[in-house]
Structure 1
Amino acid sequence: MNPPPGPWQLPVIGSLHHMVGALPHRAMRDLASRHGPLMLLRMGEVPVVVASSAAAAREVMKTHDAAFATRPLTSTIRTATHDGFGIVFAPHGDHWRGVRKLCVTELLNARRVRSFRGSREDEAGSLVASVAASLLDDEDERKPAVVNVSALVAAYASHATVRAVAGDRIGDSEAFLASLDEGVRVVAGFSLPDLFPSSRLAHALSGTARRIEAVFREFSMLMDGVIEEKRARRSGAGDEDKDILDVLLRTQDQEAAGGVPLDMGTIRAVIRDLFGAGSETSSTTLQWAMSELMRKPAALRRAQAEVRGALAGQSRVREDALPQMPYLRLVIKETLRMHPPVPLLVPRECREPCRVMGYDVPQGAMVLVNAWAIGRDAASWGPDAEEFRPERFEDAAPAVDFRGADFELVPFGAGRRMCPGINFGVAVTELALASLLFHFDWELPGGARGGLDMQEAFGITAGRKNDLWLQAAVHVPANP
Structure 2
Amino acid sequence: MMRMQELLIGGTETAATTVEWAMAEMMTHPDVMKRAQEELHAVVGRDRLMQESDVPNLPFLQAVVKETFRFHAPTPLAVPRASSQAAEAWGYTIPAGSQLLLNLRAIHRDPAFYTNPDEFDPQRFLDRPEVNHLSGFSFYELIPFGTGRRMCPGVNLGNTMVHLMLGNLVHNFDWSFPKDQSVETCQRENLEEIFGLTACRKEALRLCAKPSDHIQSMLRNTCSQSTQTRV
TM range (shorter): 0.7 to 0.9
The question of 1:461 aligning with 2:204 is answered no
Match of 2:10 in 1: 277
CA distance in 2, matches of 1:415, 1:321: 28
Which of 6, 25, 36 is equivalent to 1:303? 36
Contact 2:59 2:126 in 1 (8 A): no
Question: Shift of the alpha carbon at 1:393?
Answer: 1.0
The aligned amino acid for 1:386 is D
Question: How many residues of Structure 1 are paired with residues of Structure 2 in the alignment?
Answer: 211
**Distance of 2:178 and 2:27 partners within structure 1:** 11
Is 1:477 the counterpart of 2:215? The answer is yes
The 5 A counterparts of 1:161-176 are none
Residue of structure 1 equivalent to 2:184: 450
Query: Paired residue for 1:427, among 160, 164, 169?
Result: 160
SS at match of 1:460: coil
Q: Which stretch of structure 1 is more off in the superposition, 302-311 or 317-326?
A: 317-326
Matches within 5 A, 1:197-346: 220=1, 269=3, 271-346=4-79
1:374 to 72, 83, 107: 107
Partner of 2:223: none
Structure showing the higher helix proportion among its residues: 1
- 1:175-219 per-residue CA deviation (whole Å, 9 max, x = no partner) reads xxxxxxxxxxxxxxxxxxxxxxxxxxxxxxxxxxxxxxxxxxxxx
Name the structure 1 match of 2:126.
394
- Note the C-alpha offset of 1:273: 4.2
2: CA distance between counterparts of 1:313 and 1:466? 33
How far residue 304 of structure 1 moved from its aligned partner, in angstroms, is 0.7
TM-score normalized with structure 2 length: 0.85
Tell me the TM-score normalized by structure 1.
0.42
Q: Which residue of 1 aligns with 2:82?
A: 349
Which ranges in structure 2 are unaligned for 5 or more consecutive residues?
220-231
- Percent identity, please: 39
* C-alpha displacement of 1:342: 0.9
Change (3 A) 1:392 1:457: same
What runs of 5+ residues in structure 1 fail to find an aligned partner?
A: 1-219, 221-267
3-state SS of paired residue (2:210): strand
SS of corresponding position for 2:194: coil
Change in 2 beyond 3 A, CA 1:400/1:323: closer
2:35 maps to amino acid: R
2:175 match: secondary structure = strand
Give the secondary structure class of the aligned counterpart of 2:11: helix
Superposition deviation, residue 322 in structure 1: 2.6
SS of the residue 1:431 aligns to: helix
How large is the Cα RMSD of the aligned pairs?
Answer: 1.8
Aligned residue in 1 for 2:228: none
Which amino acid is 1:477 matched to? I
What SS does the aligned partner of 2:101 have? strand
Secondary structure of the equivalent of 1:417? coil
Whichever of the two has the greater Rg, that structure is 1
Q: Deviations over 1:360-403 (max 9, x none)?
A: 11222221100011111111102x1111111101222x722212
Q: CA deviation at 1:462?
A: 0.7
Which residue number in structure 1 is paired with residue 95 of structure 2?
362
One-letter amino acid matched to 2:19: L
What is the CA-CA distance between 1:448 and the residue it aligns to?
A: 2.4
Letter in 2 for 1:425: G
Alignment-mate amino acid for residue 388 of structure 1: F
Instruction: Read off the aligned partner of 2:130 and give its amino acid letter.
Output: A
